[in-house]
Amino acid sequence: MDTVLDIAILGLLMDRDHHGYEIRTQLRDRLGVWANVSFGSIYPALARLERLGLVEAVAVADARTLSSLSTGSLSGERAALRSRRTSSGLGRRGRKVYSITERGRAEFVAMLANPATVDDSKNFSLRMALARYLTPPRRVALLERRRADLVERLDEVRAGSNNELLDEYARGVMDHAAKGVELDLAWIDNLLTAERSNQQSLAHEAT
Amino acid sequence: MDTVLDIAILGLLMDRDHHGYEIRTQLRDRLGVWANVSFGSIYPALARLERLGLVEAVAVADARTLSSLSTGSLSGERAALRSRRTSSGLGRRGRKVYSITERGRAEFVAMLANPATVDDSKNFSLRMALARYLTPPRRVALLERRRADLVERLDEVRAGSNNELLDEYARGVMDHAAKGVELDLAWIDNLLTAERSNQQSLAHEAT
DNA sequence: GTCATCATGTAAGCCGTTACATGATTGC
DNA sequence: GCAATCATGTAACGGCTTACATGATGAC
């Protein structure tokens, strides 16, 4: 359960309804992590999420109109879609449009906030791209977890780049890796200070 | 055939003989790309490489002495090992020490030079860590291939970081990704100029 | 009417993981 | 003698890919 793709798909559906084919491009354009996930991953994932009751297929009145209807009152749009729900969910053109359920929303936020799986950079980037769905404390928790991982990793690669036994090329790779981790760390630290000053200004307003 | 792990293992064996258990730590310390590859990957990989005739098990006279015998005359060491080759390859303590074959050496260099699979960062880092086994032109070819990929990728993430439709967090991720790619590009460019000035100085010496 | 694109799905396979099973060697 | 560690292997499974199979829609 808790896979990267699941989170990504649910994250897209938090914003608005999508059909499978569309999810691929959205994954690239809005979450930017991968270069085109294959349909062989997307369709089975959607089927599984539907079985779990986290998403459901909805009927589409007019597909063209719907897909341009990305903004506007979120709750109003959701209510409208719920009213034209069917068992098949197949629009007149064979497109199967999915909507996230209430349970799906709850599960999504829980998955997103789970700090256990921020280990690799892709996982973390995806979560940050969806960070607006997290409460400030959850965001900070994720950032701090990631920071700790990076500090550990930095020690490892620095040891490598100082290892005299390694040849020029291997050491160069380690050295570059260290620079990459340093860049990541600087980013995290920026985000953390932004997060904290934001919380402070909110606290200030409240006085 | 041509998997990352195969190249990594053959790369380690180019330097000196290893047994499976040892390969895991070497992978971390000398090629630095992963945090501990599992034995469930390493042993089957070695078995496969042996079936393919790219590596072979060698008998160990004294395991302790051998493992500290990492430097010195390479050809001499190789000849000595070849002379105590057995069918089992099991030393008295159950360690199975592998040696790369001539065919293995040839295959390794071919795999390493193959530019088709420099697409992801791990693959490329591994190849650079082993770059001393490549001829200068091969190294340049790999670097240029990687450079082209990165330029393409940079366009994508820059498009994302300039996309007004994305929220603050998603744009931040894209922006950071762009900085990462820029860092990679700068590294590649450094390596390329170093490679070229080196070739020039060699050409100069030849005059 | 036919071609490109949109659209959904299944099957096989790849490459890696964790969990399990087993045993030798060394240090205390 | 007993624990830690070194050492090798198998089995099951996970998540993703490519290749395959199918069909609707829109542009010309």
The pLDDT of residue A126 is: 93
Q: Is B205 exposed, middle or buried (0-12, 13-18, 19+ CB in 10 A)?
A: exposed
Q: Which residue type is seen at A197? A: S
Instruction: Indicate if the pLDDT at residue B68 is higher than 50.
Output: no
B133 and B14 Cβ atoms separated by less than 8 Å: yes
Closest listed residue to residue A90, CA positions, set A61, A70, A110: A61
Which amino acid belongs to residue A123? N
**Contact at 8 Å (CB) between B167 and A132?**
yes
Strand D footprint nucleotides (protein C-beta < 7 Å): 6-12, 14-20, 23-26
Q: Which of A22-31, A179-188, B150-159 reaches the highest mean pLDDT?
A: A179-188
Query: What is the β-pairing status of strands B55-57 and B97-100?
Result: antiparallel
Q: What is the mean pLDDT of residues A14-23?
A: 95
Q: Please name the residue whose C-alpha is nearest to the C1' of nucleotide C19.
A: B40
Contact yes or no for B52/B1 (Cβ under 8 A): yes
Q: What is the pLDDT of residue A86?
A: 42
Q: Which of B62, B52, B67 shows the shortest CA–CA distance to B15?
A: B67
Position B78 pLDDT exceeds 90:
no
Mean pLDDT of chain B: 83
- Name the protein residue, with chain letter, whose CA is nearest the C1' of C25: B93
Give me the residue from A130, A160, A187 closest to B176, CB to CB.
A187
Nucleotide nearest to B38 (CA to C1'): C17
**Whole-number Å distance, CA B96 to C1' C11?**
38
Q: Distance between CA A128 and CA B177 in Å, rounded?
A: 12
Q: Tokens 């349970």, residue?
A: A103
With contact defined as beta carbons under 8 Å apart, do A9 and A46 qualify?
yes
Rounded CA separation A179/A139 (Å): 25
Cβ of B23 less than 7 A from strand C: no
Residue A61: pLDDT band (50, 70, 90) is low
Measured between CA atoms, the residue of chain A closest to residue B125 is A173
DSSP state of A132: G
Q: Give tens-digit pLDDT for B151-206.
A: 988 988 898 889 898 999 999 999 999 999 999 999 999 999 999 998 777 777 77
| Residues whose CB is less than 8 angstroms from the CB of residue B146 and which lie 6 or more positions away in sequence, other chains included | B118, B124, B188
What are B97's strand-pairing partners? B19
Cross-chain CB nearest to A32 (options B174, B180, B184) = B174
Structure tokens at B54: 């790219």
| Beta carbons of A169 and B29 less than 8 Å apart | no
Q: Which residues contact B6 (CB under 8 A, 6 or more apart)?
A: B45, B48, B49, B111
Considering only CB atoms, A183 lies closest to which of B129, B130, B179, namely B179
Closest CA to B70 of B24, B132, B22, B21: B22
What is the structure's pLDDT at B70?
39
In this model, does residue A66 exceed pLDDT 60?
A: no
